[in-house]
A and B are shown apart, each in its own frame.
Chain A
Amino acid sequence: MAQYVKKDDDRDEEEYSPFLGIEKGAVLQEARVFNDPQLDSRRCSQVITKLLYLLNQGETFTKVEATEVFFSVTKLFQSKDIGLRRMVYLIIKELSPSSDEVIIVTSSLMKDMNSKTDVYRANAIRVLCRITDGTLLTQIERYLKQAIVDKNPVVASAALVSGIHLLQTNPEIVKRWSNEVQEAVQSRAALVQFHALALLHQIRQNDRLAVSKLVTSLTRGTVRSPLAQCLLIRYTSQVIRESSMNNQSGDRPFYDYLEGCLRHKAEMVIFEAARAITELNGVTSRELTPAITVLQLFLSSSKPVLRFAAVRTLNKVAMTHPMAVTSCNIDMESLISDQNRSIATLAITTLLKTGNESGVDRLMKQITNFMSDIADEFKIVVVDAIRSLCLKFPLKYRSLMNFLSNILREEGGFEYKKAIVDSIVILIRDIPDAKESGLLHLCEFIEDCEFTYLSTQILHFLGVEGPKTSDPSKYIRYIYNRVILENATVRASAVSTLAKFGAVVDSLKPRIFVLLRRCLYDNDDEVRDRATLYLNTLGGDGSVVETDKDVKDFLFGSLDIPLANLEASLKNYEPTEEPFDISSVPKEVKSQPLAEKKTAGKKPTALGAPPAGPTSTVDAYEKLLSSIPEFSSFGKLFKSSTPVELTEAETEYAVNVVKHIFDKHVVFQYNCTNTIPEQLLENVVVVVDASEAEEFAEVATMPLKSLPYDTPGQTFVAFEKPEGVPAVGRFSNVLKFLVKEVDPSTGEAEEDGVEDEYQLEDSEIVAADYMLKVGVSNFRNAWESLGPDFERIDEYGLGPRESLSEAVNAVINLLGMQPCEGTEVVAANSRSHSCLLSGVYMGNVKVLVRLSFGVDSSKEVAMKLAVRSEEESVSDAIHEIVAN
């Protein structure tokens, strides 16, 4: 190197850096040596190295600087020095010159591309393909096609990898090379085959038949590199996925190939095959076993990468087939103490999914030790897994809730604490027995909580749930402590919570008044205002009290207007004599963010949503529907389904439907998204044909005025149906709209539009739509307490089934009830199974179901169905659903 600068005189020679004090300006100056008539190759190489060092450190060159360096670099093609030439190839790629500058090197590169020296050719191809545009590409296409089938593997690979990159920018040109690429797939050179296979698949990925042919021929032939083998396994899974629909015979095509790959000598191939098998649609336990066995072996590998890969795959399998993974539990438990925290966390979350009820306590003990030394991001994963475990085994809520409260007391960041609090809140909602202890844990937490957001959310939740407990007075101390000790935001929340207790619990009212009066002297406006307001509303200041119902509506009711609209109206309000009128705020929901689509199907987020109903999404929907005058008379919303997609993924318009069930009505909420930036849709409606749903009569349609690009909106169609009857039917849907062209540069739409329509999938109302999934914490107690008065028992033959597990799932889905105590999971190879279900049927009638299944050698499944409910007619209705 040219001049080494010393970092520190005292240090050993090792410490000198050849690049110490390197400075862009100086290096650019040095680059002038490229223009010397007598080139010093060694010095030029050094300068290029410095340029590379700068670029690799994230330094950028301005357009002028890059151009100047690029032009100088091109002079170096005159040098015959091989080492320098190699550096020149690299630096040109790194400088990525603009298309108007490229011309200066193309002739040199074209010359190299036809050079007799193969390695010049390979490099020239790579550089040309990196800097080329479409017009130049057509000129060199001929050479590239030759290069693909060149006998030198370096040249062939260079051309093939170039092809993979060029496919993104110039697909129509690269697609013309498929014959050559096809030939290269048969190459004896391992890497050429790998690159050719990747390119050929990309060229033909939309041609199912061609991919299938490719897979068939290669799975029979020889694949030379493990990398190519992995690709082939991936493409094979794709073919299996697409063909399984048509396959009637029962044997899965290519399974033998995948299974054979489990015995390959490269670990990479074994894993790829094992993953492919575990991800097969409707994989049977017989198919799974060999894959699980090899993965189990890797759990005790000495290499962390292999352990990680194994536990990651098993973790995924555990989500769908927990029973299949139980055989690995012992190996998995030893991974809890793995040095690598990713491995340990994956092991724990897998164990939490596959463990049985009796092992929960032991597992929790192990996890407690582990939690203290992992990062928050891992802890959040564990907390989420524990929450699901608790919902699965509600009887174990005590130890799980204790665990959560213990970790809540320890150090941790906001996201982690929020995850714990959310979990406790969800458990309180779903497991009634856990309510009192859970609320106390939350109370203790806010005594020493550094996060204002969490404190206010918990106070809000406490205000709703606390007054309904057996002894509400014990929470008052915790709440009032907040008024004394916390910041203004928390104090204001505490005042609201106190008021809620006062409104609901009459015996506490006088004491609440005393506390609220003390808040009148708070030094924060908001706290004082709230205290005054609530004292006035509750009658604590001796004034005439409003009716009890009004008070509760005021304290607990929602605003009934979208917050965004309220915010906008308040911003527009100019301070005048005239007070702000809340009724002037529009109630129409303009558009809901995309997030709604993603979260709607999941568990409700704990604290954010209002807590009243069994599921909080229902509340959000209820609010939305009641804000629409046409639907406000429909009464109480019984159930809202999860969104059902009516379009395939990645179509022009994405539409899903949420079915809202009322006593006498059904409302279809169509959530529409326009994915074309150049279009604006107006007057969007869904025209529904209900000819296959005889009991339904359309009563109202709410069109969507405007549907701009990527801003989801809703349109509604309402039907009347006979009261209290679980009517079923099929509805065909067509999306109709006025489409207007949008200028992408200005975002403005044209004045005139064209009417158009778009066929959607059919939607259905089925029996399960009239059932709410509501779990019970102790099925046996619940069953006994319902009593045998309205018990109905009958037996049914379900005919030949693919497996027992499939039959169990089919019945669960048919009834739409909540499986209890993990009984939805069928043990592998078992001949009989019992399943417990719970739910609330239309009309708010509690229903419990006991299912006993048996399967014979010819896969005929028989089922005994025992139903208990609060009403005889409902028990009968459940049997009718199954009988039909």
Chain B
Amino acid sequence: MLLAVLIANSEGNILVERFNGVPGEERLHWRSFLVKLGADNLKGVKNEELCVACHKSVYIVYTVLGHVSIYLVGKDEYDELALSEAIFVVTSAIKDVCGKPPTERLFLDKYGRICLCLDEIVWKGLLENTDKDRIKRLIRLKPPTDF
């Protein structure tokens, strides 16, 4: 299960937070844990360079894209490798929507689109679409070209 997708700005304020199968009372803990993890480790990391951590039996893969940091949390079959596949899809979709690694402002300007992309990529903790071109068409309700 892909437990969480969290996107924060460079100061650690949450921009998008989507949890799946994480009880409400644990979400705040996860939020602060991830933000601290990013603050400790993301300085000087290049765009899309992946960082990895594990916390108990849960895996975390995270990265920087422009001025936002992106965190994916998973367990069981969503281990560090599946998460890096998923985060690759998320970053490419965001870059696609924003046209470049986004600033916070650009990210917020394209907020609706980004939400639609995330909706196409992860559905209640399962990876659904992985191809950025297809996602680009799907969020505009255009049929995919590749079939």
Known: A119-B141, A304-B52. A19 touches B108 (CB 8 A): yes
| A518 at interface, CB cutoff 8 A | no
Q: Are A161 and B126 in contact (CB under 8 A)?
A: yes
Would you list which residues of chain A between 162 and 188 have a CB under 8 Å from chain B?
Answer: 164-165
Q: Are A1 and B109 in contact (CB under 8 A)?
A: yes
Which of B16, B54, B126, B141 makes the CB contact (< 8 A) with A117? B141
Tell me the nearest residue of chain B to A231, going by C-beta.
B77
Q: Are A312 and B141 in contact (CB under 8 A)?
A: no
- Contacts of A151 on B, CB cut-off 8 Å? 147
Q: Are B51 and A340 in contact (CB under 8 A)?
A: yes
**A744-B15 Cα distance, complex, nearest whole Å:** 42
Number of interface residues of B (CB under 8 A): 48
Known: A85-B141, A342-B52. A267 touches B81 (CB 8 A): yes
**A152-B111 Cα distance, complex, nearest whole Å:** 28
Which of B82, B85, B115 makes the CB contact (< 8 A) with A90? B115
| B96 at interface, CB cutoff 8 A | no
- Contacts of A268 on B, CB cut-off 8 Å? 81-82, 85
- Contacts of B39 on A, CB cut-off 8 Å? none
**A534-B141 Cα distance, complex, nearest whole Å:** 84
| B139 at interface, CB cutoff 8 A | yes
Which of A16, A49, A227 makes the CB contact (< 8 A) with B82? A227
Q: Are A87 and B116 in contact (CB under 8 A)?
A: yes
Tell me the nearest residue of chain B to A226, going by C-beta.
B85
**A53-B118 Cα distance, complex, nearest whole Å:** 13
**A56-B119 Cα distance, complex, nearest whole Å:** 12
- Contacts of A86 on B, CB cut-off 8 Å? 116, 139-141
Q: Are B138 and A154 in contact (CB under 8 A)?
A: yes
**A82, A85, A122 — which one has the most chain B CB atoms within 10 A of its CB?**
A122
Q: Are B139 and A161 in contact (CB under 8 A)?
A: no
Would you list which residues of chain B between 11 and 61 have a CB under 8 Å from chain A?
Answer: 14-18, 27, 41, 49-54, 61
Which of B109, B119, B126 makes the CB contact (< 8 A) with A164? B126
| B124 at interface, CB cutoff 8 A | yes
Q: Are B141 and A82 in contact (CB under 8 A)?
A: yes
Please encode chain A, from 63 to 102, with 1 for each CB lying within 8 Å of some chain B CB and 0 for all others: 0000000000000000000110111001001000000000
**A152-B142 Cα distance, complex, nearest whole Å:** 12
Interface size for chain A: under 10, 10 to 19, 20 to 34, or 35 or more residues? 35 or more
- Contacts of A716 on B, CB cut-off 8 Å? none
Q: Are B61 and A305 in contact (CB under 8 A)?
A: yes
Classify the secondary structure of A's interface with B. helix
Tell me the nearest residue of chain A to B40, going by C-beta.
A375
- Contacts of A16 on B, CB cut-off 8 Å? 105
Tell me the nearest residue of chain B to A164, going by C-beta.
B126
**A309-B119 Cα distance, complex, nearest whole Å:** 28
- Contacts of A15 on B, CB cut-off 8 Å? 105
- Contacts of A57 on B, CB cut-off 8 Å? 14, 17
**A866-B76 Cα distance, complex, nearest whole Å:** 48
| A191 at interface, CB cutoff 8 A | yes
Please encode chain B, from 121 to 136, with 1 for each CB lying within 8 Å of some chain A CB and 0 for all others: 0011011111100100
Known: A56-B17, A305-B50. A17 touches B105 (CB 8 A): yes
Tell me the nearest residue of chain A to B53, going by C-beta.
A342
**A776-B120 Cα distance, complex, nearest whole Å:** 62
Q: Are A340 and B52 in contact (CB under 8 A)?
A: yes
Known: A83-B140, A119-B138, A342-B54. A58 touches B105 (CB 8 A): no
Report the minimum CB–CB distance from B121 to chain A (whole Å).
11
Q: Are B119 and A90 in contact (CB under 8 A)?
A: yes
Known: A53-B111, A90-B119, A154-B138. A305 touches B82 (CB 8 A): no
**A319-B16 Cα distance, complex, nearest whole Å:** 40
| A157 at interface, CB cutoff 8 A | yes
- Contacts of B134 on A, CB cut-off 8 Å? 154
Q: Are A309 and B80 in contact (CB under 8 A)?
A: yes
Q: Are A271 and B81 in contact (CB under 8 A)?
A: yes
Would you list which residues of chain A between 346 and 386 have a CB under 8 Å from chain B?
Answer: none
Known: A48-B112, A305-B61. A119 touches B143 (CB 8 A): yes
Report the minimum CB–CB distance from A573 to chain B (whole Å).
38
- Contacts of A120 on B, CB cut-off 8 Å? 141
A and B contact pairs by CB, cutoff 8 A, 13 listed: A58-B17, A83-B141, A86-B116, A118-B143, A119-B143, A161-B126, A164-B126, A165-B126, A226-B85, A234-B77, A304-B49, A305-B80, A309-B79
Q: Which 9 A-B pairs have the closest CB atoms?
A: A49-B112, A268-B81, A308-B52, A82-B141, A119-B141, A305-B84, A56-B16, A305-B52, A52-B115
With contacts A58-B14, A153-B144, A340-B52 known, what are 5 further pairs, Cβ within 8 A? A18-B108, A83-B140, A119-B138, A226-B85, A305-B84
